[in-house]
Structure 1
Amino acid sequence: MLFRNLQIRIIVSIVVLLFFAVFLSLNISFKHTETLFEQETSDLMISNLEQMGNQVENVTLDMQKLSNVLSINDSVASILSAYTKGDGFVPFGAIKTPREMTAADSARIARLENVLNFAKNNTFFNYNAHMIMIGADGVIANVMGNLVSDIDMNKEYLNFKQEFGSRLPREEWFASLVRRERDTVWTVPYSYPFPQAGEPKSYVSLARTIKSSLTGDMLGVVMINVDLDDFVSLFTVRSHGSVLLLDSEDRIVKAAGEVAPADIETIRSQLKLYGKQKGYFIGESGGSRYMVNYYNLNRLDWTIVSAIPYEDVMNNSTGLKNKVLTINYAVFGLFLLLSVAFILYITNPLRLLIRDLKKKKIGVYRLGTQDISYSGDVQGIVKSFDHLFKRVDELVQKVMDEQRREQELKYEALKAQINPHFLFNTLNIIKWTAMMNGASNASGMIADLGRLLEVSMNKGDEDITLKEELELVEAYMNIQNARFNDSIELQLDVDPGLEGCSIIKLLLQPIVENCILHGLKQKKTGGMIRIEARARDGRLLIGVTDNGEGIAPDRIGAIFPEAEDETDKKNKFSGVGLRNIHERLQLRFGESYGLRISSGPGQGTTVSVAMPVIRAEQPVSKSS
């Protein structure tokens, strides 16, 4: 019942629609804002990653340059090749221990280490690198640098060489270089697998072969190792976030930051580069969402990845969102109050009008008769209702007058039905009186006239059987032959199976009448009218032929359009003409049915009737 009130419905509708519009607008706006924040943050983070990637690539590029310088250094090649090859010598077949080295070997190692120190101090001075050179005859020279400054430069220095040399043949990277499968090998991360080097550290390692420029023989291998922590120190890690360094197989080389290791592994598994150098996506792990940005290092096929908690990214957006929501809710509430007050102000006159309308009754009083104050718009509605009530009163009175007139017409029609019965009864009395007085011809004519009058005045049934129509024609011909001294012969050629077909009442009698009035009227003797009826392809075809004067061709096409005048009506029974019959057939059965006239001067006239074959009990339907 509450929502039947117009004011309540309007208020609820506005509140719902307005709230939906505000909610949808804010939601779309916030989604767009979040997307913009994501994009801007991602652009900033990718820019930082790109800078970090460039720094990492610069370090690796310097390592490649240094390895190139050492591999083509003539002094290094001369020193590495200054040994005697005995029978059965195999390059890198064995690594010499300190006890196996000769004085010449020690001198060569010292010269090599001088070259390494010079290269490090002049070419690679920005990095604390560990440089190792292995000769084909098994000697090892190395420069430890500041990375292992805690190692004693005498005893521990020699122990490092011995441990490194003993494990070297088992290292896959070294074996692949010796087999000449590759000239350069990056190993990340690389660790020295022995405790003498202090706590285990991870390095970015580059190993390159040194070949003779003359013979192409492999003279040695130079190895440059840079502490991986020096690479990570280049990374700018955002608060609560992490930065990952992935190798070419997306394995984590190094991770720095506050993101849990399990989440980092999940984020790594979700990373799909799809051939892109840089980009971002929103990942999930352990119920937490992260913005993941990545940048691919082309030279090494490594990837730098940053992972930031999504709530940190959207921290500013969330604060702005809360402020916008608060402002919008306040504006919405104020607008809602103003809307409700305005709606009540506008609709209150309508409410009063509806209340008054419920009290009104047609014919008792009108709205304008009471002293009620309405607003301008509602006052116009009141005047419209006044006019409407006046019109309703007039229409009710008109309907009552029409109903009264209808009763009077029914009464008059009932009285009119007495006259035909009185006429038929009178004709029957005259017929029997004529028979009793021996006037049989007069009696027959009266009977035929009574039959024609009965069918003509019976307006109820529109259809009769073909047999009944032929009986009417015979009755009509009996009357006409009495007039024309039996000068006209009626011939019937009708299939007995068609006598039960239903046809339009008074279909043939007007045609026969036209044959007599227009074709046989001047024929004193030998007049003939022939009626044939056949069925073909579902059609009832009736032909009425006379042997009268005929019709000129220019007159045949003008028969149907011509309008009947008063003279024609006087010459036709019941005022029904050929055109009337033709139009009745087409209106009822369709344009493919009707009358067709064929005639010529002095050749008689044939009127053909075409209509569907309809049995007396079959319903009639209009054909297409």
Structure 2
Amino acid sequence: MNTIQKKIWMLALVVLAMMIAIWLTLTFYNQKIQTQYNDILQRYLQMNEVTSDSQQMVTDLNNYLLMPSQATQSQLENSREQLLEVQSTVYELRNVENEFALTNYSHLISSFVETVDRSIRFQEQEATEASLKEFTEATRISMYISEMTLTIIDTELKTYERFYRGIIDQSAELKKLGVWLLLLITAVLVLFTYLFSLSITKPIHQLTKAANELAKGRFDQAIHVDTNDEISFLAKTFDHMRGNINAMILEIQQKAQLESELQDSKLLLQQSQLLNLQSQINPHFLFNTLNTLSKKAYLDGAEETSDLLVSVASLLRYNLKRMDRAVTLAEEAFVLRQYMEIQKARFSDRLQFFTELDAACLNLQIPGLTLQPLIENAVIHAIEPEEDGGHIWFRIKEVNAEVWIEIEDNGKGMDQEKRLQLLDGAITPVEGHSTGIGFTNVVKRLQLFYGKEDLVTIESEVGQGTKIILKLPKVRGTANHD
């Protein structure tokens, strides 16, 4: 894979190679010119050094003649050795044009050294006049060496004049070469940088265009990037993500449709279950029979019996009319009083019924025939088995934004295991002597009506009675229907 990192390294290597090539070229030409300059300068310096050393030697000889000592003699010897060393190097500067002049120049240096040596010997022999004569000759030769040095340098300058001009021309050509190389490198780098940036920006623009299409919700258009680097891998991953999102959207749409259909089916099933539970009570013929018996008892003078039959008929008529829709707590409480009038006629003083109703809660809607089965169970289990009867309390109150309906008796109660089984629907109490609707039926109808669980709790202990509490929300769930 041609990675972006490789491209960057390639660009860096190209730039580095060009810079090295330029550096090597300029270094070669500069070194060549510098070497030529150094050679010529060295010739001049060596010749000039001959003049300086000869004059220094004359000075040291004069000091020795004036004050012979070990120090002045040692200084003179050092000057002599240095001059002879310079003489050997000057002789190496010979060429075709200056060979004769340099030969004479070398002989002149040798003659100067010999004259100095003779002056020293005469001084040592205490031949002062002869020593001074040789000193004068050495001084004259030193001056002649200086003049000859200038002559040779002048000749060298004339000889290398063309070389100087060549160096100047080479310098000018080198400047032109540098300018052309700079322009060439700039053009190559601009072209290479353009191609390099295009290889990165073009696929990025393609990815940006694809991202804009995805932002518009077009997940069905494939993403293609024709490169061989990380951007191509990113584009393939991006396209794979697009495909997954598109498939997920289609799946979500299908699931939403199925869920909608399932919800509709669930609502229909709930309504069917509610209607099925409500259809357990439909004794129309019994209502007509009770009306007939009530009229006959009234005609026979049994007014109490007639009133009792009227209460039973009213209770049955309420059940027949209200089972197909919700009713208010006020309606349920009214029909519950009629039911208890019937039970009081049955049990007389054995049944004590007490009510505590919060008028602000009586407008709450509940399924029809919800409270009567619970009161009936209390009568069956708390009043009938007891010879002395019992008490039943009926309360409606508001607690923590809920409406609590409590039905409490002072019967035998039940243990923890039986209470949990009753809540779980594992067992049911003896179901209605009059309605045929028991505790489990009521709980199921409430759950269907409100669309939630945990509406009913039971508080009971053996020998301590039983309290059933309905905790009803003031607002029904959105999934519920009247």
Query: Which has the larger Rg?
Result: 2
TM-score, length basis structure 2: 0.50
Structure having the higher helix fraction is: 2
State the TM-score, normalizing by the size of structure 1: 0.40
Determine which structure has the larger strand proportion and give its number.
1
